[in-house]
A = this chain, B = another copy of it.
Amino acid sequence: MNANKIPDIIIGRLPIYLRALQRMTDKGIHTTSSQELGERVGISAAQIRKDISQFGEFGKQGTGYRIPFLIDKLREILQIDRIWDVAVVGAGDVGHALARYQGFVNRGFRIVMVFDSDQSKVGQQIGEFVVQDTSDMIEAIQKAGVKVAMLSVPASAAQDVTDMLVKAGVKAILNYAPISLTVPDDVRVQHIDPATHLQRMTYYL
C-alpha cells in the first residue's frame, strides 16, 4: 500500500464507509454487501467494491463483507487504530461546540487542549478544558507532540494561527474559518464551511 498511489478522492470515501459500518454494528448487523452499504451511503456498489479492493481482498464473492473485519481494516488504513490528540484553537461558539462534542469518541480522536487569544476567555472552563492563551500554544503543542488541530478562529486571524500551528509541528488542520489557508506540502487541510455546503445544494433547487 502506497500513500502516493491511492487517489485522495478514494481516501475521502473510506471514513464514510466506516461511519456506516460502525452504525450497522451498533444495530447488531455483522455482514453486508457492497450493494447494501452503497444504499446506506448513496454510492454505487461498483464504486465501493473498486475503492475497497485498492487495499486488498476484504470481502468474498457471494458472501460479502464481515463488518468487524472490514472496520478493523479501514481503521488500520486510515491510521485511526490509535487515538490522535487534537488541539482546538478558538474558543468561540464553534470551539465550544467542538470541545464538548461527544462524536469523536471511538472515532480516533481526543481533544486535549483549547486555546484562545482573547484574555477574557483564557482561564475559562469549557467542558473538561481550561482555555489556554494562544501565546503559549507553540510550546504547549510541541511539548505534547500534538499533530492534529481544529481551527475555529475568525477568518482574519486564521492564517496567522495556521503559521503558528505549522511551526509547532501540526500536520493536519480542520479549518472552520471561511478562508483558504496556505500551508507547506507536508501539512493537510480540510475545510468545514457550512455556507459552501449550502451553496452546493441550492444549485439544484
Contacts and interface: CB of A to CB of B under 8 A. Distances in A.
A155 B198 CA distance: 20
A40 to B, nearest CB: 5
A37 to B, nearest CB: 10
A85 to B, nearest CB: 12
Given A194-B98, A194-B101, A194-B150, A200 B11 contact: yes
Contact of A198 (B94, B109, B204): B109
A195 B104 contact: yes
Contact of A93 (B96, B193, B199, B203): B96
A66 interface: no
Contacts of A101: 93-94, 194
Contacts of A123: none
A100 B97 CA distance: 12
B108 A78 contact: no
A150 B16 CA distance: 19
29 contacts: A11-B203, A11-B204, A14-B200, A14-B203, A15-B196, A15-B197, A15-B199, A16-B180, A16-B196, A19-B193, A20-B180, A23-B155, A23-B180, A78-B202, A79-B202, A80-B202, A93-B97, A96-B96, A97-B97, A107-B199, A109-B195, A148-B198, A148-B202, A171-B204, A172-B201, A172-B205, A188-B201, A190-B200, A192-B194
Q: Which 4 A-B pairs have the closest CB atoms?
A: A15-B196, A93-B97, A172-B201, A15-B199
Interface of A: 3, 8, 11-12, 14-16, 18-20, 23, 40-42, 77-80, 84, 86, 93-94, 96-98, 100-101, 103-104, 107-109, 147-148, 150, 155, 171-172, 174, 178-180, 188, 190-205
